[in-house]
Amino acid sequence: MTAVRKLFDAADIAKRLDELSREIAAALPRDVLVIGLLTGSFMLVADLLRALNTAGMTPDVGFMRLSSYGKGRESTRRVELIGDVPDVAGRTVLLVDDIVDTGRTQAFARQLLGGCGAARVAACMLLDKPTRREVEVTTEFVGFTIDDLFVVGYGIDYAGQYRHLPYIGTID
């Protein structure tokens, strides 16, 4: 396994999620439908749901699986839905993903959810890499803004490895 240089440890992430949950609670309905994008967001969704509960919210949860990376370090620039879309008709949805990079996945997911009848779609991304943006998107809730680094950990993988790490780091 390659060495991982830590960027944000578990305490940094927990602190930021507490802050984000208060921002989300002030802006969205208590019963927001949280839609996590698999597989990268699974740790984030679990921790965010607990933080939202502490902030007084009672969110529902669902998941969608989208793919644009495969096993590489670069996006294929083609986003595909794998499986079904949860029932979002008439709901306020909080789209949750690990990272916004090119913006293609978030734009695709927002359009898909809107087309399935979501009343409103807001986005929460743990990491934002604005220098990589190819499609203009608005992310209402951002955990951390980072440079153009390849990151792993806290659900984010490289070729199926490193998801288990409780922190976010970079590999060279």
Catalytic residues: 101
Torsional sign, CA 172, 95, 86, 14: positive
Structure tokens given for 123:
């986005």
CA angle 26–32–36, rounded 5-degree value: 110
Widest Cα–Cα separation across the chain = 46
H/E stretch holding 98 reads strand 92-100
Q: How far apart are the first and last CA of the chain?
A: 12
* Spatial separation of the C-alpha atoms in residues 37 and 67, rounded to whole Å: 9
